[in-house]
């Protein structure tokens, strides 16, 4: 009898304490239906989240921990995006990086946060010319990365979305040329490969101009079911008035397909790390959140880190920058 009581106490401890033995309940699957995201119970969901910095950086900083995700949740967020840089992926190796992702996905799940896994490269995947050496990759490495991700997390409902390539430059110029037709071929093949390797997650597809321009989508959409499109409408991508230009450049796509703004954000010109295209003021927050709400568009705000710009926090005490205060108030509303 005493042994039975002891066993019950141990079981109760394991499932109620903050120990590493406690695992949170799986989150419901997210699927695409029409132009919206839905939970498996039929409930429509719009995502409002934050962009983490690279898990590799956060672990080195000593902040790849539950408190980081608890702080994100306190913003009324329901999603967090993990930007995985090719350089960090190679340096740690797949198994080393998977340790970070396993831990991060579980910590996110404990806070009820869905996860986007983002292959965080910037440049032209067709020409294999990139903006900075940290983004250097190849088509082969990109495909192999997503095969490994699909095999490991393809049946993990917390990993709602797979952002196949962060910011394609495309078009032409110093990164070489890539037409929409050529980009479609790369992405459609990648989606086939990812799904054949077990991914039930939603593929995310970005367009031209550093993932801003989706104007080709309506006339020539990606030939795949259950996907969503990405735009990064930073304030200086277009001059004001923003709303009509956002509608022309990406917003009209949301009338037919799900759209998620996986990076939005701003800072003042005098702020640390200020650069084009993120320089603006709080009027941008009001405009983009109102527009997203009107269109049923989901979003994540860049970036929950005190070093990367435009930063939402000033330090690891989680004191907010001025833009951070504006964004948190907007999301709490």
CATH of the domain at 319: 3.20.20.80
Domain that residue 62 falls in: 45-332
Within a domain: residue 38?
no
Which residue is listed with tokens 């949740």? 73
Within a domain: residue 18?
no
Q: Are 41 and 49 in contact (CB under 8 A)?
A: no
Within a domain: residue 7?
no
Within a domain: residue 22?
no
Q: How far apart are CA 181 and CA 124, in angstroms?
A: 14
| Domains: count for the chain | 1
pTM above 0.85, yes or no: yes
Torsion sign (Cα): 43, 225, 84, 183: negative
Best CA proximity match to 324, nearest among 267, 286, 269, 279: 267
Q: How far apart are CA 331 and CA 333, in angstroms?
A: 5
Q: How far apart are CA 23 and CA 42, in angstroms?
A: 25
Q: How far apart are CA 19 and CA 17, in angstroms?
A: 5
Within a domain: residue 103?
yes
Per-residue model confidence as pLDDT tens for the chain (333 residues): 444 444 343 333 333 333 333 446 789 999 999 999 999 999 999 999 999 999 999 999 999 999 999 999 999 999 999 999 999 999 999 999 999 999 999 999 999 999 999 999 999 999 999 999 999 999 999 999 999 999 999 999 999 999 999 999 977 789 999 999 999 999 999 999 999 999 999 999 999 999 999 999 999 999 999 999 999 999 999 999 999 999 999 999 999 999 999 999 999 999 999 999 999 999 999 999 999 999 999 999 999 999 999 999 999 999 999 999 999 999 998
Q: Are 152 and 198 in contact (CB under 8 A)?
A: no
| CB neighbour burial string for 32-68, b if at least 16 within 10 angstroms, e if fewer | beebbbbeeeeeeebbbbbbbbbbbbbbeeebbeeeb
Within a domain: residue 309?
yes
Q: How far apart are CA 78 and CA 115, in angstroms?
A: 9
Q: How far apart are CA 285 and CA 288, in angstroms?
A: 5
Best CA proximity match to 202, nearest among 26, 29, 35: 29
Within a domain: residue 237?
yes
Within a domain: residue 234?
yes
- Half-sphere CA count of 11, side-chain side, radius 13 A: 6
């Amino acid at each position: 009898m005493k042994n039975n009581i002891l066993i019950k106490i141990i079981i109760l401890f394991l499932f109620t304490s903050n120990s590493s033995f406690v695992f949170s309940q799986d989150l419901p699957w997210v699927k695409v239906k029409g132009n919206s995201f839905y939970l498996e119970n039929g409930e429509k969901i719009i995502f409002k989240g934050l962009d983490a910095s690279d898990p590799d950086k956060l672990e080195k900083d000593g902040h790849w921990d539950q408190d980081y995700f608890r702080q994100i949740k306190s913003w009324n967020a329901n999603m967090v995006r993990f930007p995985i840089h090719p350089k960090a992926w190679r340096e740690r190796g797949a198994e080393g990086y998977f340790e970070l992702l396993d831990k991060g996905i579980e910590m996110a799940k404990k806070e009820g946060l869905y996860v986007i896994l983002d292959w965080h490269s910037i440049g032209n995947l067709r020409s294999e010319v990139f903006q900075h050496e940290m983004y250097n990759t190849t088509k082969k490495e990109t495909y192999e990365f997503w095969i490994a991700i699909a095999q490991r997390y393809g049946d993990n409902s917390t990993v709602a979305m797979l952002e196949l390539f962060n910011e394609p430059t495309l078009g032409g110029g110093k990164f070489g040329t890539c037409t929409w037709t050529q980009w479609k071929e790369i992405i459609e093949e990648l989606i086939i490969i990812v799904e054949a390797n077990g991914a039930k997650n939603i593929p995310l597809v970005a367009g031209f101009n550093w993932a801003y321009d989706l104007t080709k989508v309506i006339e020539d959409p990606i030939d795949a079911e259950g996907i969503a499109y990405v735009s990064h409408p930073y304030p200086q991508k277009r001059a004001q008035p923003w709303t009509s230009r956002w509608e022309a450049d990406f917003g009209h796509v949301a009338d037919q397909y799900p759209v998620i703004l996986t990076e939005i954000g701003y800072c003042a010109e005098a702020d640390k790390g200020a650069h084009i295209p993120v320089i603006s003021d709080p009027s941008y927050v009001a405009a983009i959140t109102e527009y997203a709400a009107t269109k049923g568009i989901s979003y994540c705000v860049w970036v929950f880190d005190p070093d990367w710009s435009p930063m939402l926090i000033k330090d690891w005490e989680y004191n907010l920058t001025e833009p951070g205060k504006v964004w948190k108030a907007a999301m709490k509303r």
